[in-house]
Structure 1
Amino acid sequence: MLITKHKKGSKSSGGNRLLISITVVGSAGPIRFVVSEEMMVATVVDTALKSYAREGRLPVLGSNANDFVLYCPVVGTEALKPWETIGSFGARNFMLCKKPHQQAVNNGDDQKPVTVGIRKSSGSWKAWFNKSLNLKVSSH
């Protein structure tokens, strides 16, 4: 049996590694995996979608990373930029949401993009979070 040891400064280590947790809106639980802190947000989204599909989770999301945005609730309400590094936020918990589709509406000469929901249950994580806070427990 051959045992190999990794050197601390080796190029294959890819810098510091982080265990991140990504909650997919509408799914039962988070996806957890290890990433390099220099990994781009777009690559993390792609890895999360592949891991989600490999585990056979529901609802089925698809595999196009361009259809999704990653949020970091600690940082703010803006979606993370695809070219940013995942380690630059100092967080390990993220939320993955489907982007709302935009369609052009023809109003004479002007064409303005209008956001159209995919289906009623696919809202943003903020709406889901606010809805979950508003649930009330009634006593008989």
Structure 2
Amino acid sequence: MPNSKNNRKEQEKNRKGKLSEKASSFHGKIPTVAPSDLRRPKTLPDLFSERTISVLPDARPKLTKLLLNVTIQGSLGAVQVVLSPENTVGDLITAAVRQYSKEGRRPVLPSTDASLLDLHYSQFSLESLERGEKLMALGSRNFFLCTKKAASKDGENPTVVLQRSGEGYKERNNTLAQIHEFLVKIKM
């Protein structure tokens, strides 16, 4: 009469047998399967052979558009602009300012005149890029746009060409003037 112990022993024997088969394949002993048992689909490997030969001779596809990221000074994120590689830095500045204004970003630019702005590789780069240089020759797709610096009359410190204006700026100036007057009175 079969009981649960006998039944369990038979299952363990079967499991051990299956495990040994699996372990042999794991340890590098591949179970032999007749190659006739494997059915291979019928394929045409040379279907596109003429096409691949014509593409091979150093003909890389030409770039038609570039996605460029331009971070504008004071803005939180980069403006994305799509331009042709033949366009120049001046075209990129104009397109970035137009896109920035179109999106209604803050802070609002005092002027949309591209001649008052300079394009740099990063905010830490001191040299601005030449306006006539082609985008393909730049080697980067991330740029920083800031106000152009002009030498002061003294030749000492450069000053920003764009002047800030607005009520908030006037209030801040009044507050600073009041603080200055207070400090002058204390020193006396």
Which interval holds the TM-score relative to the shorter structure?
0.5 to 0.7
RMSD after superposition: 2.4
Identity %: 30
Change (3 A) 1:84 1:30: same
Counterparts of 1:24 and 1:50 in 2: how far apart (Å)? Answer: 12
Gaps of 5+ in 1: 1-13, 106-111, 121-140
Q: Secondary structure at 1:104's aligned position in 2?
A: coil
Query: Which of 107, 115, 127 is the equivalent residue of 2:158?
Result: 115
Q: Give the structure with the higher percent helix.
A: 2
Secondary structure in 1 aligned to 2:90?
helix
Aligned counterpart in structure 1 of residue 88 of structure 2, from 40, 43, 47:
40
User: Within 5 Å, which residues of 2 pair with 1:59-78?
Assistant: 59-61=107-109, 62-73=111-122, 77-78=126-127
Structure with the larger strand share: 1
d(CA) in 2 for partners of 1:16, 1:78: 28
Larger radius of gyration, structure 1 or 2? 2
The residue aligned with 2:78 is 30
Normalised TM-score (structure 2): 0.47
Match of 2:106 in 1: 58
The answer to which structure, 1 or 2, has the higher relative contact order (CA under 8 A, 6+ apart) is 1
Structure 2, gaps ≥5 residues long = 1-61, 165-188
How many residues matched? Answer: 99
Instruction: Please say if residues 26 and 59 of structure 1, whose CA atoms lie closer than 8 Å, have aligned partners that are also in contact.
Output: yes
Which of 119, 123, 139 is equivalent to 1:90? Answer: 139
| Aligned 8 A contact 1:16 1:37 in 2 | yes
| Structure 2 equivalent of residue 124 of structure 1 | none
**What's the TM-score once normalised by structure 1's chain length?**
0.62
Partner of 2:43: none
